Amino acid sequence: MASNIDARRRRNQNHYSSESIVPTLDMLTTESSLSQPHGAVPVCFSCFEEGHESTSCPLSGVLCLCCGGKGHDTEDCPIYFVDLSIRGCLTAHIQERTEQAKRRLIPDKGRFPAESLETSSISTKSGSKSGSNKSAKRRSLYAVQCIVCGNMGHANCRASPLQHGVSHCPRCCHPGHTAAECVRYPLTLQLGCSKDAVDSMTSPRDMIEKKEQSQRLQKMKWQKHRESSAARAFAKDPWHPCHLLN
């Protein structure tokens, strides 16, 4: 029984030996087995040159270290050239965006300059580490305009506007008036509240006192009007519920 199994194994090994399989694989992998039109020039699958096949390619032993393929060097690898082209486009795009950001940082007269991503990221990092990086703080305040004096480089100076000789409006960024006197950019549109409420918050003290006095006078007039109306109604009808108004 064991001799029959050994004989069957030897027959299978002889039938499926490597010598009988190799010609079949060569026949399937060569370009000559593919259907080509009559008179077509063969093209090598390794170096992509015409006139020979990959089996007879002179560069068949060359290995590319970039893509792992055979038939070309690393300097001639198409993947390497595509990578270079992408990096070149990205480099040019980044340089163009940097120049545009620098142009936007130039302050216009009477307006806040646009803040770029670089300045915003620097200001966030410098704010988290107070006092650790003074140069980063200076760069972050480059595009900041003061609401008091209107100069660049700081947000709110301690000196009063009277020392500078001119007042500066933080709403429209124009000099010559304060935020309460601004007509270009009213705060009512920004806060969504009534004009009287905004004026009570931003107006000077004398204007607030005048408005409070006018409101008291209007209240007194309305109270007198109610009392006179109740007296006339009571004179006509003693049972009129006008006494409920008092």
Q: How confident is the model at residue 44 (pLDDT cuts 50, 70, 90)?
A: confident
3-state secondary structure of 175: strand
Residue type, 47: C
Task: Considering only residues 131 and 151, tell me which one the structure prediction assigns the higher pLDDT.
Answer: 151
Please list, in sequence order, all residues whose beta carbon lies within 8 angstroms of the beta carbon of residue 32, skipping any fewer than 6 positions away. Answer: 42, 53
| pLDDT mean over 32-39 | 51
| pLDDT mean over 24-29 | 45
The rounded Cα 82 to chain-centroid distance in angstroms is 28
| pLDDT mean over 19-44 | 53
Task: Considering only residues 116 and 211, tell me which one the structure prediction assigns the higher pLDDT.
Answer: 211
Residues of the chain above pLDDT 90, percent: 0
Q: How confident is the model at residue 56 (pLDDT cuts 50, 70, 90)?
A: confident
Task: Give per-residue pLDDT as tens, 155-179.
Answer: 666 555 455 556 667 666 667 777 6
Half-sphere exposure of 211 (CA within 13 A, CB side): 13
- pLDDT for 111 beyond 80: no
Q: How confident is the model at residue 40 (pLDDT cuts 50, 70, 90)?
A: confident
What is the longest distance spanned by two Cα atoms in the chain? 140
| pLDDT mean over 22-33 | 45
Quote the pTM value.
Answer: 0.19
- Tokens for 143, please give them: 């595009």
* Backbone torsions φ then ψ of 19, nearest 5 degrees: -65, -30
Q: What is the pLDDT of residue 124?
A: 42
- Burial of residue 45, with CB atoms counted within 10 A of its CB: 0-12 exposed, 13-18 middle, 19 or more buried: middle
In whole numbers, what is the pLDDT of the chain averaged over residues? Answer: 62
Which candidate, 155, 143, 147, places its Cα nearest to that of 178? 147
Residue type, 49: E
CA-to-CA separations, 125 to 116, 121, 140, 152, in angstroms, rounded: 15, 6, 9, 20
The rounded Cα 181 to chain-centroid distance in angstroms is 35
Q: What is the pLDDT of residue 196?
A: 58
3-state secondary structure of 161: helix
- pLDDT for 14 beyond 50: yes
| pLDDT mean over 184-202 | 55
- Burial of residue 149, with CB atoms counted within 10 A of its CB: 0-12 exposed, 13-18 middle, 19 or more buried: buried
| pLDDT mean over 84-112 | 56
Domain boundaries defined on the chain: 44-104, 206-245
Q: How confident is the model at residue 8 (pLDDT cuts 50, 70, 90)?
A: low
d(CA 105, CA 118): 11
Residue type, 25: L
Half-sphere exposure of 24 (CA within 13 A, CB side): 6
